[in-house]
Amino acid sequence: MNTLLVVLLIALSVWLLYLGRGKLAWLLPLAVGLLLWRVLGEGGTFGWWLCTVLFLALAGTLAWAPVRRALLSRRLMPMLAPLFPTMSATEREALEAGTVWWDAELFAGRPDWSKLLNQPVPELDAREQAFLDGPCEELCRMLDDWQVLHSDDLPTEVWDFLKREGFLGLIIPESYGGKGFSARANSAVVAKVSSRSVTAAVTVMVPNSLGPAELLLHYGTEAQKQHYLPRLASGAEVPCFALTEPGAGSDAGSMTSHGVVCRGTWEGREVLGMRLNWNKRYITLNKAATVLGLAFKLRDPDGLLGDKEELGITCALIPRETPGVVADKRHDPLGVPFINGPTQGHDVFVPLEFIIGGPANAGKGWRMLMDCLAAGRGVSLPAQSCGAAQLTARTTGAYASIREQFGLPIGRFEGVEEHLAIIGGMTYLMDGARRLTAASIDSGQKPAVITAICKAYLTEGMRTVVNNGMDVVGGAGISRGPRNVLARAYQALPVAITVEGANTLTRSMIIFGQGAVRCHPYALEEIESLAARDVKRFDAAFFGHIAHFFGVFTRASVLGWTHAVIAPTPLEGPAERYFQHFTRLSAAYAVCAEISMMTLGGALKRKEMLTGRLADGLAWLYLGTATLKRFVDAGQPDRDRALFEWAAETALHEVETALLGLLDNLPARFVARVLRWKLFPPLWRFHGPSDRQRAKAARALLDGDPAREALTTGIFVPPATEPGLGALEDALTKVLAAQPVRAKLKDLVREGKLERAREAAQVEAALAAGHLSEAEADCWRAAAAAREDVIQVDAF
């Protein structure tokens, strides 16, 4: 009977822990009680009663918070404080910027799928769609990117069009003369323009990303908004934003650009202002800008604003024509001719009212920047990446259907299929993440961790897709000219990888560094309660943390060894098992993150290879679940199933690979071995897409498949008369139309009615013999001529 009671207690505890409702008050006494029951008489009466008394005593002590705080928590605080990371003021401001959303669900190990599935991802409204189909389409028609690349800027008529049609004011509300578009529309515009010209896309991106307009909207005084926003919206003012310096790149907080509060003369009168000196580089639109957004450190040595001398990072708007401002040189970013270069300021005096938000915002610039970046980096660069990926998918799908070797389209060779699968599957995954992230921003979120993931992993995805595209087109990709569609995207890849926080830094430091504190249900509360020496807060956070860990550990172990078949799923269909698999890996991720923090403490942030793997795990959980969301929102169509399965299988494999790599290198070797066995049973591993799944994903891009059309609806497709993608699309249409004629020729050879010969000779022979009509022969000739034309490369 005693044994049965113990078994029931164990089963109840495990079940409660699996559900995430386990309490520490019952866990430790149960463990001690079971040990004593085993030692003291194998369940004898005395042993059982002793265990019961100890069980109740320990449970009461731990369950009664005042006693627990007095006996345990007060003593634990000084012991545990060194294990928790300390935060600088800039780190704290970065952590507090933005919001926590779906990333917190994934980090905690128990994702609430209704939260994801109920997130609306609406289509563009009528006004936004009209802009995309009208001015945006017209802009793309105006652009000749080959000519742009051989000049030093966009043509004057293009600049005039951008200003006249409001491309520089997409995010500015209509009440200030802008378009007032959603993040989804902003993203769609950038993606479409990117598929045509990187130079034009960057020119559109910068005024609508982190910069004067964004900062003014959130922090500007009404007078500043009324003055600048209508001018920015119309293009009367062109903005740039100066943050990066030679000695302060990714570590922007170490900037040396500075200002001193002082009195000086402005427009003939003495005012309280700032004398500024700066040296910035990599500033996009520096020479074109009429107003410069500037980040600098402000000092008040004479106490003119108060008793604080070091005010901190501040953001101000500086008119380009102000004496002392220099912006007359340009960098050459790998030959892509968007305007970018250095700017310097030498003893530039401006009134304090030029601070964004006025003098009250002196020293608040870092928080302002982090808040805006929390949303902004989830729009522009992810959109550019998706535009390039979609362009690559459409181009390679057509080229691999048209180009033939050994009597077959090259897309039918397995070696090429492997590349096409990566192109199609990654593009599907990337665009799902782009859409979901933009929709979350439109719903009021500023998901700092998720936007960092999108910036880093979508730009890396673009690199993967374009590189694989270059492998498909081969020599046609390395011979530059108007016919070469991919070279210009390939040329610009490192730019997106580097800006707005280099991907290496974002992966190794920012994603998990912020995620571990912001997304964890207890970590931030523990750090803050220790800093405040608040025993009550620490007690609740610490013991809640331990209960959470044991709950998620049990859950992850059960899901691992059952291959997640018992995990609940929100719906049926092709996506059903993937919900279960991502639930399992979310729990496994939570355990691995917990163990990493527990065993390494504050030293973890210096273990950047480990934090990089933890970033990989969280990123691929987000990308994979965004793909699930996209597929389910579309109704799980058969059209997209091959691309969806490739993307989901790849995401699962990447998450598992990251976590296994973490455990292989975790310094606490015994703990790592136990976790590897508990969380990742050898029988249930994710190996990525199978060869069959790869082949299906590749074929979704070939022969004008509907999946290819759906995947690339957001890009600009040039007219048939234009070399490059336009001619490829025209050739594909003709080649597909001629397929029945070619099949008929093969049947005639098989029946002995036609000799084996070159197809051109067979067509003429079949026409003469009456086996083909003149229309069929013309159809074949048109396809052959188009094929011959589009496989040529440019020569000068």
**Residues designated catalytic:** 500
Please tell me what DSSP assigns to residue 121: -
- Give the residue from 151, 248, 140, 145 showing the smallest Cα distance to 191: 140
Question: Token digits for 501?
Answer: 């926080």
* Beta pairing partners, 270: 265
* Strand 239-242 to 291-299 pairing: parallel
Please say whether the dihedral angle defined by the alpha carbons of residues 497, 491, 235 and 190, taken in this order, is positive or negative: negative
Note whether 490 and 598 are within 8 A (CB): no
- Reduced to 3 states (helix: H, G, I; strand: E, B; else coil), residue 712 is coil
Non-local (6+) Cβ contacts of 91 within 8 A are none
Q: How far apart are CA 484 and CA 662, in angstroms?
A: 41
- Reduced to 3 states (helix: H, G, I; strand: E, B; else coil), residue 293 is strand
Q: Give the chain's end-to-end CA distance (angstroms, integer).
A: 92
- Give the residue from 233, 168, 164 showing the smallest Cα distance to 200: 168
Note whether 193 and 133 are within 8 A (CB): no
Please tell me what DSSP assigns to residue 21: -
CA distances from 239 to 229, 284, 317, 694 (A): 11, 9, 9, 46
Non-local (6+) Cβ contacts of 104 within 8 A are 518, 519, 521
The 3 state secondary structure assigned to 169-230 is HCCCCHHHCCCCCCHHHHHHHHHHHHCCCHHHHHHHHHHHCCCHHHHHHHHCCHHHHHHHHH
Cβ-based neighbour number of residue 379 at 10 Å = 27
Q: How far apart are CA 298 and CA 314, in angstroms?
A: 6
Determine the distance from the C-alpha atom of residue 674 to the mean position of all C-alpha atoms in its chain, rounded to a whole number. Answer: 33
Cβ-based neighbour number of residue 128 at 10 Å = 21
Q: How far apart are CA 617 and CA 592, in angstroms?
A: 10
Question: Token digits for 296?
Answer: 């600098």
- Reduced to 3 states (helix: H, G, I; strand: E, B; else coil), residue 143 is coil
Note whether 282 and 331 are within 8 A (CB): yes
Give one DSSP letter per residue of 624-683, joined into a string: HHHHHHHHHHTT--HHHHHHHHHHHHHHHHHHHHHHHHHHHH-S-HHHHHHHHHHHS-TT
Give one DSSP letter per residue of 239-271, joined into a string: EEEE--BTTBSS-GGG---EEEEEEEEETTEEE
Angle ∠(616,617,623) on CA atoms, nearest 5: 85
Element (H, E) at 368: helix 365-376
Q: How far apart are CA 246 and CA 243, in angstroms?
A: 10
CA distances from 360 to 307, 482, 558 (A): 14, 53, 55
Non-local (6+) Cβ contacts of 669 within 8 A are none
Give the type of residue at 693.
Q
Non-local (6+) Cβ contacts of 690 within 8 A are 649
Please say whether the dihedral angle defined by the alpha carbons of residues 410, 415, 417 and 421, taken in this order, is positive or negative: negative
Note whether 579 and 570 are within 8 A (CB): yes
